[in-house]
Structure 1
Amino acid sequence: MNKKRNTLAAYPYILWCCLFIIIPLLIVLFFSLTEVSGDSYEFSLGNYTRLLNPQYGMIFFRSIRLALISTLACLIIGYPVAHIISKISSPRRNLVIMLFIVPMWMNFLLRTYAWLPILGKNGLINNIVGYFGINPIQFLYNDGAVLLGMIYNFLPFMVLPIYTILIKMDTNLINAARDLGADRKTIFSKIVFPLSIPGVISGFTMVFMPAVSTFIISSLLGGGQSMLLGNLIEQQFTTMGDWNLGSAISLLMMLVILISMAIMNRFDKTDKKGSATLW
């Protein structure tokens, strides 16, 4: 009876997966492996061979490069922030976390648009530096602006997983290390950081995946000067009307994300195996 109930309970989940995951993926796969010939579709690998074009290769590597840089920047900024928040007393800590999450309640597009009047030639920063006789600085429409937008929008996805791990850390380990004469640097390098690796890996994955596939940030802050994989896919579907090539690029991007997740999971498993020997 219990097995029958479990099977019946799984049917809605299976139906959901079929309708919104499996069937859409099969449609994308179909378009990527076909080309339009008159009123019909013909099987072809031409969409994938077209991706060997050096122009697409440059876009691919630019996307990976900017995604990695933004992810590492989020880690460098986010880890100290998460560590500081985890040390705050409980009532104030909850307030700080709430203030940190509040911007995420705003629409992603609006959060990105907000940087235009700040970084524009007639924006807030240029108006301030103008009082000192400095000519307007071109902050927008370059890779730096795109990286700033990525870091601003995705930083909470790095901070929260690390904070969750740090707040649950057993303080007895730290107290024992202090009793044995370990200094702060040793405690952090031998206990705190190794135990927080799962949060770092989760944060790395949660930042890298949206960063490598974003198109809104590069469109608004990059001004079309920094085309990424997300922009290329959007262009193929909406402007060029080439759903076949757009589907091939989508599957390539999905493959990149799956490979990165597999690598992160491998590191996570390796860390769990070695977590028993911190010293």
Structure 2
Amino acid sequence: MNRSVATPLMLASPGAVLFAGLVIVPLVLTLILSFLAYDHGTGIKDSWTLAHYMHVLSDSYYLGIFWRTLRLAALTTLICALIGAPEAYILSRMRSPWRSVFLLVIIGPLLVSVVVRAFGWSMLLGSTGLVNAALAAVGLGPVRLLYTETAIVIALVHVMLPFMVIPVWTALQKLDPMVEAAAWTLGASRFSALRRVVMPQVSMGLLSGSLIVFGLSASAFAIPGLLGGRRLKMAATLVYDEYMHELNWPLGAAIAILVLVANLVIMLAYNRAVEARARRMLG
């Protein structure tokens, strides 16, 4: 083999083997498991069936959980974009040492376990938590926040926001500030400069952050499990229940595969739409 071809292959092979062992092989095994028949009396059988997929796609209970998962993931992504893009813009305009300080504040939550953060939000949003205590102090009655979709979205935004800020901030670092200043000089308002000069340049960073946030939110387990309770389930908690409580591994595998396919379809469609819009705006 040509040395110019062999060297890249040798360098890439350890990562490829690791990726195959940690991602491809488990996915293939999960896919195979999802087609195996299951009997509540004898367990997993050696025969093949599509009954698990048909059962999930025809049951309004599972479809409702899928819809809740995708809806909350999309809402989390939207809120993170609305908060994270301006935050990244302000961060990119800061000077040292304040930039390093605020960057540490943004990525600081990543240093704490997501389970610890979920427990913290459960204490804040509980009936006797700080939020309801503050509402009681101003004369408002207690509000039920814990074990609601609102609590899940709040905690997911807190956890996922750094994954939106960092890609947008990285894209802004590649943008020459003089380009925006030139737009001001030519008579553009600050809003017009942001909309027509800055936003097209950071659209790829916003796309990357949105895909990361949506994928992680749709597959989140700890936050929906701790803040949603047993009745307000999402896809990851549903898969966990099928595996650990019902012991119906093929059904749990089928649900996991369907969630993965739905995420991939939505993310690829969103990716193509944003890239097409960016090409039109950038020429």
Q: Give yes or no for TM over 0.5.
A: yes
Shift of 1:275: 4.7
Does the CA-based 8 Å contact 2:200-2:282 persist in structure 1?
Answer: no
Aligned residues: 277
What SS does the corresponding residue of 1:136 show, helix, strand or coil? coil
Matched with 2:159 is 153
Give aligned-pair identity as a percent.
30
Structural mapping, 1:155-194, within 5 Å: 155-194=161-200
CA RMSD of aligned residues (A): 1.8
Deviation at 1:200, TM superposition (A): 1.0
Normalised by the size of structure 1, how large is the TM-score? 0.92
**Residue of 13, 16, 22 corresponding to 1:14:** 16
> Which one of 97, 101, 106 corresponds to residue 95 of structure 1?
101
Return the alpha-carbon distance in structure 2 between the equivalents of residues 133 and 10 of structure 1: 63
Say if 2:38 and 2:248, in contact at 8 Å, map to a contact too. no
Is 2:130 the partner of 1:117? no
Superposition deviation, residue 272 in structure 1: 4.8
Q: Is residue 2:49 matched to residue 1:44?
A: yes
Are 2:239 and 1:209 equivalent residues in the alignment? no
Distance 1:7 1:188, change over 3 A: closer
What letter matches 1:55 in structure 2?
Y
SS of residue paired to 2:97: helix
Match of 2:30 in 1: 28
Structure 2 gaps of 5+ residues are none
2:203·2:278 contact (CA, 8 Å) conserved in 1? no
User: Which consecutive unaligned segments of at least 5 residues does structure 1 have?
Assistant: none
- SS of 2:52's equivalent? helix
Cα deviation, residue 168, structure 1? 2.0
Kept in 2, the 8 Å contact 1:142–1:225? The answer is no
Comparing 129-138 and 156-165, the one that deviates more: 129-138
Partner amino acid, structure 2, of 1:121: S
What is the letter of the counterpart of residue 56 of structure 1? Y
Other structure's SS at 1:141 match: coil
Are the structure 2 counterparts of residues 40 and 155 from structure 1 closer, same or farther at C-alpha, using a change threshold of 3 Å?
Answer: same
Report the secondary structure of 1:41's partner residue: strand
The 8 Å contact of residues 215 and 230 in structure 1, kept in 2 or not, is answered as yes
State the distance in 2 between where 1:194 and 1:117 align: 41
CA apart distance, 1:224? 2.3
TM-score normalized by structure 2?
Answer: 0.91
Shift of 1:61: 0.7
Q: Residue 114 of structure 1 aligns to a residue in which SS?
A: helix
